[in-house]
């Protein structure tokens, strides 16, 4: 059986050793200390900042024609200067998700603990801590309940009256006060800060921690609760904010009252059933487990010791974090750090927000193929709200109908460009994130969802592009701009470093995608015939992909060199993934040019290797059908861009990060890339084991999803397909590919494919 737990033989000494729990809104990092237990808290709607209607630069629309003319005339430096004066956004109180106080339990002293074990069970979503001290066996279990909306902790010992501690809520950056109310610890504060907002605007926050003891005594006073001589104790933690107009105190109290009435056993059972119903859909077996602590296994992998089971565990960990961070009723989608805030992104120049130039999209790579479709629901709702907010930006900044969003957004629906040149002007950021709605439809075709939710967003993204795209004077191609290829700069012919351009390849990719999908969706729904004609005509005029003098896929319309050849972003390769506009079988010359781009970036001195880049490169190589190279990047993701607790991080020294900063995208992106190695689909064809690494000789995967509403199980032996089982949501036909052999199949409602059909 493959490993299903992360485990350690000592307590966590720092954030990157703690174990994450979450219920889709409320997150905790459990340290498992002996003398002191710490659970660091965060909540997805604890945001500083506020909505604003004055973020668009007042001179943007008036100067657009002049910037375009300068760029078409080859006066890149002048265009860069003018764009820098007029186009960046003017956020007044953008804000960030902020970390909350920690719950700290300080225990009465004792001898050094023996036989210590700390584990996170991915199947049950339970953190368990076991140790012996003074010949007493102590057990803690911690969970984040989605059914009941609380974090719950149970502390027990095998001797009566053995548990004594003092508890408080402390170590917070938020202005607020911790008090006691009966057996509750109560923190009341406000999510405000001055780096990304005005220091005055932000959500009100209330945290309540309730202690229920068995035996012993409990008393509260000041900012602490003290338990003495207790047999067992249950701790419940609830958080309320006013982000959606709720009363924080009432929400926290309502959650606590219901959870307390249920009791520990009921909470635990409901949590495990709920969590397992999602996690249990998919399994991956790549080899025998290694009976060592997870941090030891990671270190051994970095030294070259093979551990395929650790890669399978990492795959399931990405699914676990998706379940823990994003549920169907979550108020917001996964931010840069999911629902676990280490306080570093929010206190840096980044902000812990929603990046639309790959990171937020990558946060959901584990959802559809990983059989967690409902976990995308909060993102879908978020994009629909973003589309409404982006109408004003489209009109005021570009004089266009439809909607637009750029590089970053926040909990309040920000859609203007970011505040800096070189990163803030990614005009198709909204189009890119809108593709998630189409992906959701592709994996589970539902005409009602398409008509009511996806199509209105995609249609109006296409309407914006039809107004925004501009004829390029030499060939008459339709190109986007002024825009930037995230987050890269080029060397213009006069030697100046510029970012603003006309016709960036990434904009061409997402313009083609949105126009194509809009036309296809309108055809399915049998509506908007005139719009279908317009989008088809516009697609025919888009600029072509071009191969540069180095044999690389050009990132810009002209064959410019990168100002930083080692730059982490390769947004133009989105034509390979998530799109399929370039494929090894369909466009082999362009696929080779894409490989040259990947090779040149990695060979450049100082290549900016970050967590999301490793996941991204793994996905690129999976689509290029090179499983060994994909595995190389998955391995690097685990060993060089993930920590002891396997949480991925952006490396210090890159993108302005002063130190390693946790980022959710590597975990989810790695899971999505592994799924692509094992199964690919485009709606017309399902490919089995398209990028199986040569070292994965025997294995199996169960429960992966394919576009068209299919669930697929695969077993392979000695590096070759042994058997596949395909189940369709409804009666359906598709093509099935294994290597060079393709057959048509019909699922009514399932078909088993194996050696008998000649696919081996």
Rounded (10°) CA dihedral 588, 593, 599, 601: -140
Per-residue pLDDT at 757 = 53
Strand ranges for 33-134 from DSSP E: 36-43, 102-107, 114-121, 126-133
What's the maximum distance between 2 C-alpha atoms anywhere in the chain?
85
Per-residue pLDDT at 657 = 86
Q: Is the pLDDT of residue 411 over 90?
A: yes
Task: Give the tens place of pLDDT for each residue, 515-533.
Answer: 999 999 999 999 999 999 9
Task: Give the tens place of pLDDT for each residue, 276-330.
Answer: 999 999 999 999 999 999 999 999 999 999 999 999 999 999 999 999 999 999 9
The fraction of the chain above a pLDDT of 70, given in percent, is 99
What is the three-class DSSP state of 22? Answer: strand
Q: Domain map of the chain by residue range? A: 5-47+96-280, 56-89+356-606, 289-325+609-678, 687-757
Handedness of CA 434, 438, 444, 447 (dihedral sign): positive
- Order of strands, edge to edge, in the sheet holding 710-717? 283-285, 699-706, 710-717, 720-728, 750-753
Where residue 755 falls among pLDDT bands split at 50, 70, 90?
low
Task: Give the 3-state secondary structure of 249-275.
Answer: HHHHHHHHHHHHHHHHHHHHHHHHHHH
pTM of the model: 0.97
| CATH label, 687-757, candidates 3.40.50.720, 3.20.20.140, 3.40.50.1000, 2.60.40.1180 | 2.60.40.1180
b/e burial code for range 38-51 (CB count within 10 A of at least 16 → b): bbbbbbbbbbbbbe
Task: Give the tens place of pLDDT for each residue, 371-406.
Answer: 999 999 999 999 999 999 999 999 999 999 999 999
Q: Fold for domain 5-47+96-280? A: Beta-galactosidase; Chain A, domain 5 (2.70.98)
Task: Give the tens place of pLDDT for each residue, 556-614.
Answer: 999 999 999 999 999 999 999 999 999 999 999 999 999 999 999 999 999 998 999 99
Rounded (10°) CA dihedral 253, 258, 259, 265: 160
Q: Is the pLDDT of residue 462 over 70?
A: yes
Task: Give the tens place of pLDDT for each residue, 12-44.
Answer: 999 999 999 999 999 999 999 999 999 999 999
CATH class of segment(s) 56-89+356-606: mainly alpha
Q: Is the pLDDT of residue 754 over 90?
A: no
What is the three-class DSSP state of 684? Answer: coil
| Strand-pair category, 679-681 with 661-662 | unpaired
Q: Is the pLDDT of residue 752 over 90?
A: no
Q: Is the pLDDT of residue 756 over 90?
A: no
Burial class (CB in 10 A: 0-12, 13-18, 19+), 539: middle
Task: Give the tens place of pLDDT for each residue, 113-159.
Answer: 999 999 999 999 999 999 999 999 999 999 999 999 999 999 999 99
Contact 732, 708 (CB under 8 A): yes
Q: Is the pLDDT of residue 251 over 60?
A: yes
Q: For residue 527, how many other CB atoms are within 10 A of its CB?
A: 13
DSSP string across 688-706 = ESTT--TT--SEEEEEEEE
Contact 675, 325 (CB under 8 A): no
Per-residue pLDDT at 109 = 77
Q: What is the mean pLDDT of residues 630-654?
A: 97
Q: Is the pLDDT of residue 750 over 80?
A: no
């Amino acid at each position: 059986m493959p490993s299903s737990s992360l485990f350690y033989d000592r307590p966590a000494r720092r954030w990157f050793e703690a174990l994450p729990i979450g219920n889709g809104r409320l997150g905790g990092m459990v340290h498992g200390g002996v003398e002191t237990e710490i659970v660091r808290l965060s909540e997805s709607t604890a945001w500083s900042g506020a909505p604003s209607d004055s973020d668009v630069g007042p001179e943007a629309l008036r100067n657009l024609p002049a910037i375009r003319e300068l760029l078409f005339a080859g006066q890149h430096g002048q265009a860069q200067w003018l764009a820098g004066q007029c186009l960046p956004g003017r956020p007044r109180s953008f804000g960030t998700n902020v970390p909350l106080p920690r719950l700290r339990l300080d225990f009465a002293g004792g001898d050094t603990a023996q036989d210590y074990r700390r584990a996170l069970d991915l199947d049950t979503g339970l953190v368990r801590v076991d140790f012996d001290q003074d010949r007493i066996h102590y057990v803690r279990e911690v969970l984040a309940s989605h059914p009941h909306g609380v974090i719950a902790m149970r502390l027990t010992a095998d001797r009566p009256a053995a548990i004594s501690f003092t508890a408080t809520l402390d170590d917070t950056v938020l202005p607020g006060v911790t008090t006691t109310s009966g057996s509750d610890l109560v923190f009341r504060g406000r999510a405000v800060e001055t780096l990304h907002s005005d220091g005055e605007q932000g959500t009100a926050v209330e945290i309540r921690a309730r202690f229920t003891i068995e035996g012993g005594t409990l008393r509260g006073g000041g900012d602490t609760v003290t338990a003495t001589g207790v047999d067992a104790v249950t701790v419940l933690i609830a958080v309320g904010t006013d982000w959606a107009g709720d009363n924080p105190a009432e929400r926290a109290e309502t959650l606590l009252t219901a959870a307390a009435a249920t009791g520990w056993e009921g909470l635990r059972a409901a949590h495990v059933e709920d969590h397992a119903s999602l996690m249990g859909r998919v399994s991956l077996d790549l080899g025998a487990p290694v009976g060592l602590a997870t941090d030891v296994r990671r270190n051994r992998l970095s030294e070259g010791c093979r551990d395929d089971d650790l890669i399978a565990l990492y795959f399931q960990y990405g699914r676990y974090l998706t379940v823990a961070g994003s549920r169907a009723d979550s108020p917001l989608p996964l931010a840069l750090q999911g629902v676990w805030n280490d306080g570093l992104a929010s206190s840096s120049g980044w902000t812990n927000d929603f990046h639309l130039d790959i990171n937020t999209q990558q946060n959901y790579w584990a959802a559809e193929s990983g059989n967690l479709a409902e976990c995308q629901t909060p993102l879908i709702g978020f994009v629909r709200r973003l589309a409404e907010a982006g109408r004003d930006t489209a009109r005021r900044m570009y004089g266009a109908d439809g909607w637009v969003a750029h590089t970053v957004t926040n909990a309040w629906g920000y859609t203007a460009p970011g505040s800096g040149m070189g990163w803030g002007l990614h005009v198709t950021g909204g189009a890119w994130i809108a593709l998630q709605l189409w992906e959701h439809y592709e994996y589970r075709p539902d005409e009602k969802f398409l008509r009511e939710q996806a199509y209105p967003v995609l249609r109006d993204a296409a309407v914006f592009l039809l107004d925004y795209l501009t004829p390029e004077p030499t060939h008459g191609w339709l190109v986007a701009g002024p825009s930037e290829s995230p987050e890269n700069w080029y060397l213009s012919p006069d030697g100046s470093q510029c970012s603003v351009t006309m016709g960036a390849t990434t904009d061409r990719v997402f313009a083609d995608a949105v126009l194509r999908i809009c036309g296809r969706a309108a055809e399915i729904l049998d509506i908007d015939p005139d719009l279908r004609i317009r989008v088809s005509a516009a697609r025919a005029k888009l600029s072509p992909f071009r191969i540069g003098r180095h044999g690389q896929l050009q990132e810009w319309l002209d064959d410019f060199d990168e100002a930083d050849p080692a730059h982490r972003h390769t947004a133009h390769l989105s034509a390979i993934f998530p799109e399929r506009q370039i494929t090894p079988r369909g466009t082999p010359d362009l696929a080779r040019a894409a490989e040259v781009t990947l090779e040149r970036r990695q060979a450049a001195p100082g290549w900016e290797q970050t967590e999301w880049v490793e996941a991204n490169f793994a996905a690129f190589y999976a689509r290029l059908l090179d499983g060994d190279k994909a595995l190389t990047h998955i391995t690097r993701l685990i060993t060089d861009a993930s920590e002891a607790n396997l949480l991925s991080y952006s490396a210090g020294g890159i993108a302005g990060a002063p130190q390693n900063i946790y980022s959710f995208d590597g975990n989810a992106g790695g899971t999505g890339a592994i799924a692509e190695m094992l199964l690919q689909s485009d709606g017309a064809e399902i490919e089995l084991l398209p990028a199986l690494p040569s070292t994965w000789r025997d294995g199996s995967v169960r429960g992966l999803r394919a576009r068209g509403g299919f669930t697929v199980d695969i077993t392979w032996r000695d590096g070759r397909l042994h058997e596949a089982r395909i189940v369709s949501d409804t009666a359906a036909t598709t093509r099935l590919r294994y290597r060079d052999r393709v057959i048509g199949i019909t699922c009514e409602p399932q078909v088993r494919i194996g050696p008998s059909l000649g696919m081996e």
